[in-house]
Amino acid sequence: MKVIVTGGAGFIGSHLCLRLLEAGQEVIAIDDLSLGQKKYLDPCFKFKKFKFVKEDLTKFNRIKKFFKNVHRVWHLAANSDILAGAKSTDRDLKIGTIATYNVLEAARLNKVKEFVFSSTSAIYGEAEIKPTPENYGPLLPISFYGASKLACEALATAFSHNFEMKVWIYRFANIVGPHTTHGVIHDFIKKLKKNPRELAILGNGQQAKSYLHVNDCINAMIFGLENVSNEVNLFNLASSGVCQVDKIADYVIQAMGLKAQKKYSGGIQGWKGDVAQVKISAEKLHNLGFKPTYDSEAAVKLAISEILNDKKYGMN
């Protein structure tokens, strides 16, 4: 099977590329390296069936040729730094929505029949029902990232209906593990490297969210592909429980052997667009037989250890 992984040098994409190669698939990773890092793909270059393409997905005429004879597209590329998207309001539109349209159109023109899309729990906005199920509505995202992902979901389902392209949409909780390029664990480690005596925390530290380890994330996506094959297949991906930002701060400080004082900026949100309390239901996939290895707190603790010991990550 020949597949494309967009965002292939990114956090989740780099792990996915290696998993697919180990399964014997031919993989083309496309990444503009704006967030991802080519060094994360070092293990992939050992496989003859691997190809890396440095390209910008907003340049349609430059990317469409790579989709020839491809069976499945894993579209993971996005501006996953939500805070950066709030500062530049067209960022998610360009590298999120428009890039997704380009990937779908390139897939259509080359008769690709399967499209896997990494969406987000941010599409739910500040949901009144928790744990939030897939059929919750209305969907009112409060970040440009969430708004872009919701638009991308709509594009994917429209392409699916009109061009007989099967679609799998996965709404991620917060994914953690080695190769992260942003996020609370990444930020805390960077801050403590700079100043080991004090840790600045956005908000009041009481923000609580579901965290899923990257290995469980990939296992869940593959499980969904192998077990459900409707025209459109939609799943939340999350582990059980939540973990508070304040606890994550304690875990990072302890793992780094420090005695840093925590300093809070205040407020229930870390920043505008931040959904402070996130708990999504993963019962739909669980009822099919999938269960993550780690709950939220265990995933966070493992990720902290992995990141601090990952030489390629540069945090050790």
> 3-state SS string over the chain?
CEEEEECCCCHHHHHHHHHHHHCCCEEEEEECCCCCCHHHHHHHHHCCCEEEEECCCCCHHHHHHHHCCCCEEEECCCCCCHHHHHHCCCHHHHHHHHHHHHHHHHHHHCCCCEEEEEEEHHHHECCCCCCECCCCCCCECCCHHHHHHHHHHHHHHHHHHHHCCEEEEEEECEEECCCCCCCHHHHHHHHHHHCCCEEEECCCCCCEECEEEHHHHHHHHHHHHHHCCCCEEEEEECCCCCEEHHHHHHHHHHHCCCCCEEEECCCCCCCCCCCCECCECCHHHHCCCCCCCCCHHHHHHHHHHHHHCCCCCCCC
Residue 290 pLDDT level (bands cut at 50, 70, 90): very high
Per residue in 85-112, pLDDT tens? Answer: 677 889 999 999 999 999 999 999 999 9
- Kindly indicate whether the domain formed by 2-175+211-237 is annotated with CATH number 3.40.50.720: yes
pLDDT reported for residue 181 = 82
pLDDT reported for residue 165 = 97
Residue 217: is its pLDDT beyond 90? yes
Lookup: tokens for 19: 């998993």
| Cα angle value 54/57/62 (rounded, 5°) | 75
Q: Which amino acid is at 144?
A: F
Higher pLDDT, 283 or 183: 283
Residue 26: is its pLDDT beyond 90? yes
Q: What is the largest CA-CA distance in the chain?
A: 58
Q: The pTM is what? A: 0.95
Terminal C-alpha separation, the chain: 37
Per residue in 222-277, pLDDT tens? Answer: 999 999 999 999 999 999 999 999 999 999 999 999 999 999 999 999 888 889 99
Domain ranges, ordered by start, for the chain: 2-175+211-237, 180-209+241-280+296-308
CATH number corresponding to 180-209+241-280+296-308: 3.90.25.10
pLDDT reported for residue 311 = 58
Lookup: tokens for 164: 């007989």
